[in-house]
Amino acid sequence: MTKPIIAIPADIRVLDGATWHAAQQQYIQAASNVAGLMVMIVPAMGDAYDLDAILDRVDGVLVSGSASNVHPSLYGKEATEADGPFDPARDATSLPLIRRAIDRAIPLLAICRGIQELNVALGGSLASEIQEQPGIWDHRKPTTPERDAMYVIRQSVFVKEGSCIARYIGPGEVQVNSLHRQAIATTAPRLQVEATAEDGTIEAVSVIDAKAFAVGVQWHPEYWAETDLPSRRLFEAFGDAVRDYAAGKAAATRAPLKQSAL
């Protein structure tokens, strides 16, 4: 059987003076090698593209991390320069894509910037420069050019008993990496908190009334998905949910054909 396809909304990047619609290799590799999926990068074209037509052709959505921040105007805050860098074209694509995927019961995995987009898409807000708040740790990307060192597993999160992700990675303490300076401030009404860090930072959420896998994590399971068990299990769970969705869609397409053949 052909592997199901998932959509990854692109970042806008400028390389050598040209504008690119880009997605990082680490997400594509984890989705392909661990979840067993194929990836389609969705250009950051906002409402110039019919996002439902794109969702008709895929079986899941993976919203990746990125150095840019969701524009504060999208959660009712005035932007300062310190809130940047921004990527309004990605916001204009990923936020409606997230909302439509949830409405259509299409599996969704949202990572780092992705969990922040999921929260804003559903009406929540973000806090910036969280390391400056009293009692909050420094969750920022380690300063090193070495990618393995940037993404090193160095922080505990506590997964809630009975949460959605506890089914895959167990409840209790899990070791993760951390590369962010923003975090969820007000949790969107449709989200439940699945895991927190010891300093109270929200580390994972799920959509309460979702009809499919709809999970966001503040850490980066994609980076170590081939070698770290909790990271692998999250990607495998997403892959299974995507395959279930694809199988359901294929069965629904076959059913009317069978009837008309009678």
Q: Which residues sit at the interface with ligand LF53FM6H, rule CB under 6 A?
A: 65-67, 69, 112-113, 116, 141, 179-182
Long-range contacts of 35-39, Cβ-Cβ distance < 8 Å, separation of 24 or more: 35/235, 35/236, 35/238, 35/239, 35/242, 36/3, 36/239, 36/243, 37/3, 37/4, 37/5, 37/6, 37/239, 37/242, 38/2, 38/3, 38/4, 38/5, 38/6, 39/5, 39/6, 39/7, 39/8
- Of the listed 161, 194, 222, 236, which one is catalytic? 222
Residue 59 or 91 having the CB closest to ligand LF53FM6H: 91
146 is catalytic: no
DSSP states of 129-187: SGGGSTT----SPPS-S-HHHHT---EEEEEPTT-TTHHHH-SEEEEE----S-EEEEP
222 is catalytic: yes
Least distance from C-beta 12 to ligand LF53FM6H, angstroms?
14
220 is catalytic: yes
User: Residue 215 is which amino acid?
Assistant: V
Alpha-carbon dihedral of residues 20, 66, 230, 225, nearest 10 degrees? 30
Residue 130 or 207 having the CB closest to ligand LF53FM6H: 130
- Of the listed 81, 180, 220, 236, which one is catalytic? 220
Least distance from C-beta 144 to ligand LF53FM6H, angstroms?
12
- Of the listed 71, 112, 139, 194, which one is catalytic? 112
Least distance from C-beta 236 to ligand LF53FM6H, angstroms?
22
Residue 74 or 166 having the CB closest to ligand LF53FM6H: 74
Residue 106 or 111 having the CB closest to ligand LF53FM6H: 111
Least distance from C-beta 141 to ligand LF53FM6H, angstroms?
6
Task: Name the residues annotated as catalytic.
Answer: 112, 220, 222
